[in-house]
């Protein structure tokens, strides 16, 4: 399984990448051993993930996301956040 991810850097920029081990990749980024882009922009916050069955599909999706402008990437993140919130069970308030 391959993961396409977006992290938000300390300077609020967004970095998109792929990996087949998200935990290891995030640890490398946080240690300054990930991408050259993220090294001086730590700490990082994982904002978005998508899973893909093949590396080629993940690479195509990564390229597509990288072509998005910042506003579109933020909309993608917001949509994912909204879906996560919608799937959380809510308790019913009693009156």
34-86 pLDDT per residue, tens: 899 999 999 999 999 999 999 999 999 999 999 999 999 999 999 988 887 66
Q: Which residues of 25-54 are buried (b: 16+ CB within 10 A; e: fewer)?
A: bbeebeeeebeeebeebeebeebbebebee
Instruction: Find out whether 53 and 1 touch, Cβ atoms under 8 Å.
Output: yes
- pLDDT for 89 beyond 70: no
The pLDDT assigned to 87 comes to 57
- pLDDT for 90 beyond 80: no
The pLDDT assigned to 49 comes to 97
Give phi and psi for 76, each to the nearest 5.
Answer: -60, -45
Tokens of 51: 């899973």
Query: Could you tell me the pTM of the whole model?
Result: 0.86
């Amino acid at each position: 399984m391959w993961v396409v991810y977006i992290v938000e850097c300390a300077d609020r920029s967004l970095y998109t990448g792929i990996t087949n081990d998200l935990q290891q990749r995030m640890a490398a980024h946080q240690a300054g051993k990930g991408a050259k882009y993220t090294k001086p922009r730590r700490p990082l916050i994982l904002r978005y993930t998508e899973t893909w069955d093949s590396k080629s599909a993940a690479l195509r999706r990564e390229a597509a996301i990288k072509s998005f402008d910042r506003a579109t990437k933020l909309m993608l993140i917001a949509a994912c956040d909204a879906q996560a919130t919608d799937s959380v069970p809510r308790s019913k308030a009693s009156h």
